[in-house]
């Protein structure tokens, strides 16, 4: 367990110091202190990782070695990048058996901490806060010169608008800050500023809400169901606000996801009601929520994330998180076997919080700034026409994105309809997370409060996000990297090869690379091939993605038939992707309009060619190229020679100086493991290694991060036991999940830390966030993700965010001076419990439930219901949009379908039982989709495909797991199904660093291209384009109305066929003491950049970084670094995902 405290002295210190001192010779000087804090083993593991980092080859290693590198990194981060903050109590036990369901506010999840990850808990930290009182350069300058979109850059076929919506859907599940309404001079009281109004767990809060009030609003209180409109979109209240779990700052892409998962919830309810006729409304609701939130978590883990990080190593890693190395087949057959590695994180015997109460972190919030995913308009498709080539519908009108935001967006969506909206989003690529791709329309946008009502003032979101990281003392880019044990940049050329970016950076920052704002650095950083996000952001993912699963008892000790019901558990097990959810509710839509294998990649993209080589043994294509092989062989030879010199010599000689301190803090074994990882990092080949080696690399990295990047913060109690048998369901507030911490990960718990907070008070406006946002983030021209990520994928991550993270902040947005004891609490739950649809507290839960047959409220049109204010009735409706709403609706339908199935199967189940089981099933489905569908598309490589599937099924695979159950622990059987939750000694929470790397607004385009689903599908099932809807028209209550006009199918198809934006500089549509980019990397044991060229090869980005930050790479803001960082081939994210997938 990591706490922000003085190092403990003990026996053997002199011997250890001698060993660490020798390591200093091989490790970057910036890490000497970090190494000194590590155990000897961890220090040597870090040396290995650091050596690989120096070589820069981890993503080019064979998959198994890549996974090993990541596993070591994750271990290091779990040990040294999880910091507990705030007043969250530790040590209080309760009986989990009293809460066999997800509570409204996320409480009673972590067994030893009833409040961990619940609504209102503090954001944790992955990196210690950095004082950033110096707010230079001006955020407006940063935003204008480095972020504002010049020309839309998309993600190609990798990520569509559904994918862009998904991450906002997830954000509505996970994170938010309690803030006042004034957006520019933010002076929120410390006791509120960093609390999270959502829950940190993957519990479907985006559709259920994070409290009883919201839950009550979204529930029908009939058969356990949630409210949803007859047209499959969200219902709206009298104000036109969507009725859903989180409607704040939403848009049509989020709303359509909310509606989808409301339908999923209700379908679960129907199934459960048919199966278990004795289940009442409450039981049906609770079970359906468990099921639906699990479905969402699964989609996020093995679908969305896989598309985001599209490499074999991350495919293996994300699937490994769910199934373990033994794979799905083994796990399905034999159950969870062999711990987290073999059996996956899901299904572990007990939750694991690594000694830090679970919460999401400020750094997690920072890296999830992904507004560049949003385009400038949504290209509607003509779904009345015949499909074109690859099932592509013809284009129809373009809808400006502002027309899809809020209440206007709700109206727009309603006019479009679910199918047309979904098809349009599916066929439209999202924006890329790159410099100059931040949507300009988001620079003058009206935000909403937690009720979905418009605030009185406009905000420049790009500048605000830069400011946010600074004000919250999130480390700037270089310090962020250091905090993540990543080698910092020393010059702009270390960040990017883009000369234009370098010039812009020079203009804004001069040569002060240490001043580089995180957001700019994340955008400008050279991306690993296949990654939609930067490697720096990926490290936070590495930490937090696993943590969200392993710290949640409903994915570990309570991931079983007894808790979910047999039918509900089967529902989760058989749902592998968002496509499965869409197939369940809109089979004609997917059959006609979806050609792609994943709903998160552009729908007219061809499915991947069969690969007979087992995933773990695949070798990245780049490694097979002759010139690459010879170059990498030379690097590996140098690495071998370097390791040989270790005998009797100093590890520091082989490790970047920034990690000397970190290695000194590691154990000997971890130090050597880090040396391996670090060496691979130096070669830069982990994502080009054969899949098995890539997974090995990732496993080692994850181990390192679990050991050194989990810090408990706040008041979350640890050590207090309860009986999990008392809570065989997901509670409304997320409590009673972690067996030894009843509050871990529940609503209101603090965000943890992956990196110790970096004090940035003196640097809050240096460079000015507006300058950073303008010069390095603001969209110049929309950059999409190609076919990899569609708008469903973009919506999915917001859907997940609605499930996981939020900050408790007052509404005044700029001068945030929230009291420390509340500043980092999370109003959502940190678990993947479907909070996006169920909410994070009883109030929200009551709002979304029908209290009949366990179902949730959903409109007859398949979209979310809306209350009298026009606000969607779903778990989390704050800052939502149609993409999130449609996912919420989908999973409400999923929940209700689970209810129906369970009701048929178990006729004795009442409403509450049906609800609880359906929630378990649905939240597991969501978690599964996120893990092995969304994440797989995000990190589109074989290694990450193996990794994400390994998370769920283990290395033994799905078939084995389906047949024999979980066998062999997390590696062989996957994390899912472990005998007990694992928190690595840190009570579970998401972390501030996790929040930071989830800044993915660049995924959003400027408009949603609707598709004409009345037309015959074109090639590859592509529907013709219809009108374009501006994204602002799909946000909030406006977005709910827009979605209702579009309809579920049209909206989903449109999102599915539209690529999301890329996480790149200049494709965007800082506070919390999160380290800046370089320190963030150091904190995650990643080699920091020393020059802008280390971050990105894009010269334009380098110029922009230089303009904003000068040569001060250490000043690079995290968000900028995550956007600018070079992405891995075939993938859309970077390292932090591994730990928290």
Is the predicted pLDDT of residue 375 greater than 90, yes or no?
Answer: yes
Co-location of 515 and 567 in the same domain: yes
User: What value, to the nearest 5°, has the Cα angle with vertex 476 and ends 473 and 479?
Assistant: 100
Looking at residue 1037, its pLDDT comes to 80
DSSP string over 733-793: ESBS-BTTBTBTTSTTPBPEEEEE--EEEEBTTSS-HHHHHHTTBB-SEEEEEEEEEEHHH
**Kind plus residue range of the DSSP H or E element containing 385:** strand 383-385
Looking at residue 630, its pLDDT comes to 46
CA-to-CA dists, residue 450 to 82, 1012, 1078, angstroms: 28, 34, 33
Domain that holds residue 382: 119-181+198-585
Co-location of 272 and 375 in the same domain: yes
Is the predicted pLDDT of residue 404 greater than 50, yes or no?
Answer: yes
- Nearest Cα neighbor of 241 from 1029, 887, 879 is 879
Q: How confident is the model at residue 11 (pLDDT cuts 50, 70, 90)?
A: very low
Is the predicted pLDDT of residue 1003 greater than 90, yes or no?
Answer: no
677 inside domain: yes
> Which of the listed ranges 182-186, 463-467, 830-834 does the model predict with the highest average pLDDT?
463-467
Looking at residue 863, its pLDDT comes to 83
Number of domains in the chain: 2
1046 inside domain: no
Residues with Cβ within 8 Å of residue 631, at least 6 apart in sequence? none
Co-location of 40 and 145 in the same domain: no
Is the predicted pLDDT of residue 971 greater than 50, yes or no?
Answer: yes
Is the predicted pLDDT of residue 750 greater than 90, yes or no?
Answer: no
Q: How confident is the model at residue 188 (pLDDT cuts 50, 70, 90)?
A: very low
139 inside domain: yes
**Among 123-127, 519-523, 658-662, 794-798, which stretch is predicted with the lowest mean pLDDT?**
794-798
Residue ending a domain, among 683, 701, 721, is 683
Co-location of 29 and 176 in the same domain: no
For the purposes of burial, counting CB atoms within 10 Å of the CB of 588, is it exposed (0-12), middle (13-18) or buried (19 or more)?
Answer: exposed
Residue ending a domain, among 667, 683, 699, is 683
Residue ending a domain, among 529, 563, 585, is 585
Q: Which residues are catalytic?
A: 172
Q: What is the largest CA-CA distance in the chain?
A: 76
Q: How confident is the model at residue 12 (pLDDT cuts 50, 70, 90)?
A: very low
**Kind plus residue range of the DSSP H or E element containing 229:** strand 229-234
Question: Is 676 in contact with 43 (CB distance < 8 Å)?
Answer: no
Looking at residue 1068, its pLDDT comes to 65
Q: For residue 180, give the 3-state DSSP assignment.
A: strand
CATH number at residue 571: 1.10.640.10
Co-location of 329 and 448 in the same domain: yes
**Average pLDDT of the residues in 694-702:** 83
**Average pLDDT of the residues in 616-621:** 78
Is the predicted pLDDT of residue 492 greater than 90, yes or no?
Answer: yes
Question: What's the rounded Cα separation, in Å, for the pair 728 and 736?
Answer: 9
First to last CA, the chain: 20
Question: Is 370 in contact with 520 (CB distance < 8 Å)?
Answer: no
Q: At 476, give phi and psi (nearest 5°).
A: -70, 175
* Percent above pLDDT 90 for the chain: 28
Is the predicted pLDDT of residue 724 greater than 90, yes or no?
Answer: no
Of residues 52 and 1117, more confidently modeled: 52
Co-location of 564 and 642 in the same domain: no
916 inside domain: no
Looking at residue 814, its pLDDT comes to 39
Tokens 């806060």 appear where? 129
Q: What is the pLDDT of residues 528-576, one digit of tens each?
A: 999 999 999 999 988 888 888 998 899 999 999 999 999 999 999 999 9
How are beta strands 445-448 and 124-127 bridged, if at all? Answer: unpaired
Co-location of 665 and 525 in the same domain: no
129 inside domain: yes
Q: What is the pLDDT of residues 472-481, one digit of tens each?
A: 889 999 999 9
Question: What's the rounded Cα separation, in Å, for the pair 951 and 314?
Answer: 10
Residue 371 annotated as binding site: yes
Is the predicted pLDDT of residue 1006 greater than 80, yes or no?
Answer: yes
**Average pLDDT of the residues in 654-675:** 79
Looking at residue 7, its pLDDT comes to 35
815 inside domain: no
Is the predicted pLDDT of residue 805 greater than 70, yes or no?
Answer: no
Q: What is the pLDDT of residues 97-145, one digit of tens each?
A: 888 877 777 788 777 777 776 766 767 788 788 887 777 888 888 889 9
Phi-psi region of 719 (alpha: psi -120 to 50; beta: other; left: phi over 0): left
Question: What's the rounded Cα separation, in Å, for the pair 530 and 892?
Answer: 32
Looking at residue 503, its pLDDT comes to 94
318 inside domain: yes
- Nearest Cα neighbor of 676 from 658, 657, 651 is 651
Co-location of 628 and 581 in the same domain: no
Q: How confident is the model at residue 382 (pLDDT cuts 50, 70, 90)?
A: very high
How are beta strands 349-350 and 980-980 bridged, if at all? Answer: antiparallel
Looking at residue 623, its pLDDT comes to 54
Residues with Cβ within 8 Å of residue 481, at least 6 apart in sequence? 487, 488, 489, 536, 658, 1075, 1077, 1078, 1079, 1080, 1081, 1082, 1083, 1084, 1086, 1087, 1088, 1089, 1121
Co-location of 391 and 506 in the same domain: yes
Q: Show the beta-strand stretches assigned E in 255-335.
A: 279-280, 303, 311, 327
Tokens 């709206």 appear where? 236
Co-location of 516 and 464 in the same domain: yes
Looking at residue 521, its pLDDT comes to 96
292 inside domain: yes
- Nearest Cα neighbor of 199 from 923, 912, 814 is 923
Q: What is the pLDDT of residues 628-647, one digit of tens each?
A: 444 554 555 455 444 434 43
Question: Is 126 in contact with 758 (CB distance < 8 Å)?
Answer: no
Co-location of 305 and 383 in the same domain: yes
Helix/strand number for the chain, H first, E second: 51, 57
Q: Is the dihedral of CA 38, 39, 44, 49 positive or negative?
A: negative
Question: Is 797 in contact with 1000 (CB distance < 8 Å)?
Answer: yes
Question: Is 304 in contact with 935 (CB distance < 8 Å)?
Answer: yes
Co-location of 154 and 22 in the same domain: no
Q: Find residue 967's DSSP bridge partners.
A: 337
> Which of the listed ranges 347-356, 453-462, 987-996, 1085-1094 does the model predict with the highest average pLDDT?
347-356
Looking at residue 46, its pLDDT comes to 86
Looking at residue 291, its pLDDT comes to 95
**Average pLDDT of the residues in 799-821:** 49
Looking at every residue in the chain, the average pLDDT score rounds to 81
Q: What is the pLDDT of residues 1067-1100, one digit of tens each?
A: 765 334 556 788 777 777 778 888 888 888 888 8
């Amino acid at each position: 367990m990591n706490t922000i405290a003085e190092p403990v002295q003990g026996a053997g210190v002199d011997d250890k110091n001698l060993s660490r001192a020798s390591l200093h010779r091989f490790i970057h000087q910036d890490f000497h202190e970090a190494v000194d804090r590590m155990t000897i083993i961890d220090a040597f593991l870090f040396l290995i990782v650091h050596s690989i980092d120096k070589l820069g080859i981890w993503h080019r290693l064979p998959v198994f070695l890549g996974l090993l590198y990541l596993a070591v990194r994750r271990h290091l981060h779990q040990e040294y990048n999880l910091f507990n903050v705030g007043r969250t109590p530790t040590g209080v036990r309760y009986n989990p058996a009293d809460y066999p369901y997800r509570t409204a506010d996320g409480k009673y999840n972590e067994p030893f901490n009833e409040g961990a990850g619940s609504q209102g808990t503090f954001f944790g930290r992955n990196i210690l806060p950095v004082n950033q009182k110096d707010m230079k350069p001006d955020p407006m300058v940063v935003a204008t010169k480095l972020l504002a979109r010049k020309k839309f850059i998309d993600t190609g076929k990798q990520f569509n608008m559904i994918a862009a919506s998904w991450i906002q859907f997830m954000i509505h599940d996970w994170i938010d800050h309690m803030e006042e309404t004034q957006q520019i001079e933010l002076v929120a009281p410390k006791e509120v500023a960093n609390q999270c109004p959502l829950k940190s767990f993957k519990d479907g809060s985006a559709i259920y809400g994070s409290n009883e009030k919201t839950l009550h609003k979204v529930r029908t209180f009939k058969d356990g169901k949630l409210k949803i409109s007859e047209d499959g979109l969200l219902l709206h209240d009298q104000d036109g606000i969507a009725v859903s779990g989180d409607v704040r700052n939403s848009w049509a892409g989020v709303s359509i996801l909310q509606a989808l998962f409301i339908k999923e919830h209700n379908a679960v309810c129907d199934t459960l009601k048919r199966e278990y006729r004795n289940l009442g409304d409450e039981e049906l609701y609770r079970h359906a929520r468990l099921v639906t939130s699990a479905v969402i978590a699964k989609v996020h883990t093995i679908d969305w994330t896989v598309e985001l990080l599209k490499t074999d190593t991350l495919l293996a890693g994300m699937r490994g998180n769910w199934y373990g190395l033994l794979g799905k087949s083994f796990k399905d057959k034999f159950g969870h076997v062999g711990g987290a590695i073999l059996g996956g994180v899901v299904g572990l015997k007990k939750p694991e919080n690594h000694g830090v109460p679970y919460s999401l972190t400020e750094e997690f919030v920072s890296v999830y700034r992904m507004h560049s995913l949003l385009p400038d308009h949504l290209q509607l498709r003509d779904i009345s026409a015949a499909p074109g080539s690859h099932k592509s519908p013809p284009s129809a009108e373009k809808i400006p994105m502002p027309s899809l935001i809020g209440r206007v967006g709700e109206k727009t969506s309603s006019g479009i309809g679910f199918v047309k909206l979904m098809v349009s989003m599916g066929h439209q690529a999202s924006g890329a997370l790159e410099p100059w791709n931040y949507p300009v329309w988001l620079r003058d946008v009206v935000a909403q409060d937690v009720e979905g009502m418009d605030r009185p003032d406009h905000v420049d979101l790009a500048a605000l996000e830069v400011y946010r990281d600074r004000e919250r003392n999130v480390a700037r880019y270089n310090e962020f990297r250091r905090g993540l044990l990543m080698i910092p940049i020393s010059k702009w050329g270390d960040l990017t090869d883009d000369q234009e970016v370098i010039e812009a950076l020079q203009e804004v920052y001069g040569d002060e690379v240490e001043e580089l704002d995180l957001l700019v650095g994340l955008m400008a950083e050279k991306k690993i091939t296949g990654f939609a996000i930067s490697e720096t952001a990926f490290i936070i993912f590495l930490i937090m993605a696993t943590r969200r699963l392993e710290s949640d008892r409903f994915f570990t000790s309570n991931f079983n038939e007894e808790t979910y019901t047999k039918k509900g558990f089967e529902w989760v097990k058989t749902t592998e992707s968002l496509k499965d959810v869409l197939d369940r509710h809109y089979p004609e839509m997917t059959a006609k309009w979806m050609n792609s294998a994943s709903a998160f990649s552009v729908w007219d993209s061809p499915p991947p060619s069969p690969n007979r080589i087992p995933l773990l043994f695949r070798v990245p294509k780049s490694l097979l190229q002759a010139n690459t092989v010879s170059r990498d062989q030379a690097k590996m030879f140098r690495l071998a020679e370097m390791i040989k010199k270790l005998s009797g010599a100093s590890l520091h000689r082989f490790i970047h100086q920034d990690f000397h301190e970190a290695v000194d803090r590691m154990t000997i074994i971890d130090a050597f493991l880090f040396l391996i990882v670090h060496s691979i990092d130096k070669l830069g080949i982990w994502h080009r290694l054969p899949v098995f080696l890539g997974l090995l690399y990732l496993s080692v990295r994850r181990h390192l991060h679990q050991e050194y990047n989990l810090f408990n913060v706040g008041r979350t109690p640890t050590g207090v036991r309860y009986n999990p048998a008392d809570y065989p369901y997901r509670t409304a507030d997320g409590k009673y999940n972690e067996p030894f911490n009843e509050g871990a990960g529940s609503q209101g718990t603090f965000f943890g830390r992956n990196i110790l907070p970096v004090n940035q008070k003196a640097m809050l406006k240096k460079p000015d966030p507006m300058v950073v946002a303008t010069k390095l983030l603001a969209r110049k021209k929309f950059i999409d993700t190609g076919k990899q990520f569609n708008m469903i994928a973009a919506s999915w991550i917001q859907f997940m965010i609605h499930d996981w993270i939020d900050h408790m902040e007052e509404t005044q947005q700029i001068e945030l001076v929230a009291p420390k004891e509340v500043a980092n609490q999370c109003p959502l739950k940190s678990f993947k419990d479907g909070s996006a649809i169920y909410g994070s507290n009883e109030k929200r839960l009551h709002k979304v439930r029908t209290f009949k047959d366990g179902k949730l409220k959903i409109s007859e049109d398949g979209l979310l219901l809306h209350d009298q204010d026009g606000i969607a009735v779903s778990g989390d409706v704050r800052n939502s949009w149609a993409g999130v709403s449609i996912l919420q609706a989908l999973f409400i339908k999923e929940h209700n379908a689970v209810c129906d199935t369970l009701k048929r199967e178990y006729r004795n189940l009442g409403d509450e039982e049906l609800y609880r089981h359906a929630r378990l099933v649905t939240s597991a489905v969501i978690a599964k989709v996120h893990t092995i569908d969304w994440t797989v598309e995000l990190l589109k490589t074989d290694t990450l495909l193996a990794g994400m599937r390994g998370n769920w099924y283990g290395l033994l695979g799905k078939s084995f797991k389906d047949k024999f159950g979980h066998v062999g622990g997390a590696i062989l059987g996957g994390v899912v199904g472990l005998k007990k939750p694992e928190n690595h000694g840190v009570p579970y929470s998401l972390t501030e660093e996790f929040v930071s790397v989830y800044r993915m607004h660049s995924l959003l385009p400027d408009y949603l291209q609707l598709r004409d689903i009345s037309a015959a599908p074109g090639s590859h099932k592509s529907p013709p384009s219809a009108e374009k809807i501006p994204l602002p028209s799909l946000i909030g209550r406006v977005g709910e109305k827009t979605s209702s006009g579009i309809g579920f199918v049209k909206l989903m198809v449109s999102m599915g066929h539209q690529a999301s934006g890329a996480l790149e500089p200049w494709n965007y549509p800082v506070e919390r003491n999160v380290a800046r980019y370089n320190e963030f990397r150091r904190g995650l044991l990643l080699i920091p950049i020393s020059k802008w060229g280390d971050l990105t090869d894009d010269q334009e980005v380098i110029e922009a970084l230089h303009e904003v930050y000068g040569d001060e790479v250490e000043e690079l803001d995290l968000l900028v670094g995550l956007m600018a960082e070079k992405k891995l081939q075939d993938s859309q994210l970077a390292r932090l995902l591994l730990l928290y997938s």
